[in-house]
Amino acid sequence: MNNKMALLLMLTGLFSLSGFHVTAQTMTGQETGASTNSGQVASDQDIQLLRKDIRSQKKQLIAANLNLTTTEATKFWPIYDQYEAEYAKVGDAKLALIKEYSQNSDSATDEQALDYLKRSEEISKSVIRLRERYVPLVNQVLPGKKTATFFQLERRIEMLLDVEVASLLPPLQSQGQ
């Protein structure tokens, strides 16, 4: 199987892991944020396990498409793990904002709406700053093309996950209001 096919299959798998589907409905009220195919609400622990599974599949995706030598891999993967640990903290902030947004989207004030926007933009900037810090670190152990390829893969995966989540969240203001 070629790398493009493996990439496509793994990305498809990211959105159907463990039978969980994040929905805006399950993120409202006291519910946590994901439901199973049977409609049961997932706990925070279930969501953390799902995030761990996504991170594992993401790592496999990157490994399948980065074509590292043994020497490069030995040096790269510890940096990657450090990067992912820091990225997970940004993911925690993003998840908290999504939960809050989902719980309050029907009743958000203008001030809350602007606060959600500001916090969302700050999270995006945090990701950019994180990448900017890690480009030279990765480039110390990988040549330029492989460094660029890693960050391309990283960004593509992030965008696909963001699109999936965004498609599930309602706009703050319905059309016609």
pLDDT band for 171, please (50, 70, 90 cuts): confident
For 4-46, write each residue's pLDDT tens digit.
444 444 444 444 433 333 333 333 333 444 444 444 444 666 6
Q: How confident is the model at residue 170 (pLDDT cuts 50, 70, 90)?
A: confident
The first and second tokens of residue 159, run together, are: 């965008």
What is the pLDDT, as a whole number, of residue 63?
Answer: 93
What pLDDT, on a 0 to 100 scale, did the predictor assign at position 20? Answer: 36
Mean pLDDT of 55-79: 93
Q: Is residue 39 part of a domain?
A: yes
- The domain of 156 spans 3-168
Instruction: Please give the Cα distance from 100 to 172 (Å, whole number).
Output: 12
Cα 45 to Cα 51: distance, rounded to the nearest angstrom:
10
Whether 176 maps to a domain, the answer reads: no
Judge whether 45 lies within some domain.
yes
pLDDT of residue 166: 79
* Backbone conformation region of residue 176, classed left if phi is above 0, alpha if psi is from -120 to 50, else beta: left
Residue tagged 């805006």 (tokens): 24
> Residue 91: inside a domain, yes or no?
yes
Confidence (pLDDT) at 46: 62
Flag whether 173 is in a domain: no
Q: Cα–Cα distance between 156 and 158 in angstroms, integer?
A: 5
Q: pLDDT for 131-147, tens place per residue? A: 999 999 999 999 999 99
* Contacting residues for 157 by C-beta, under 8 A, at least 6 apart: 11, 14, 58, 61
98-157 per-position pLDDT tens digit: 888 888 878 888 899 899 999 999 999 999 999 999 999 999 999 999 999 999 999 998
Q: What is the pLDDT of residue 165?
A: 79
Report how many domains make up the chain: 1
Instruction: Tell whether 175 is covered by a domain.
Output: no
H runs (alpha helix) in the chain: 3-14, 44-66, 70-104, 110-141, 144-168
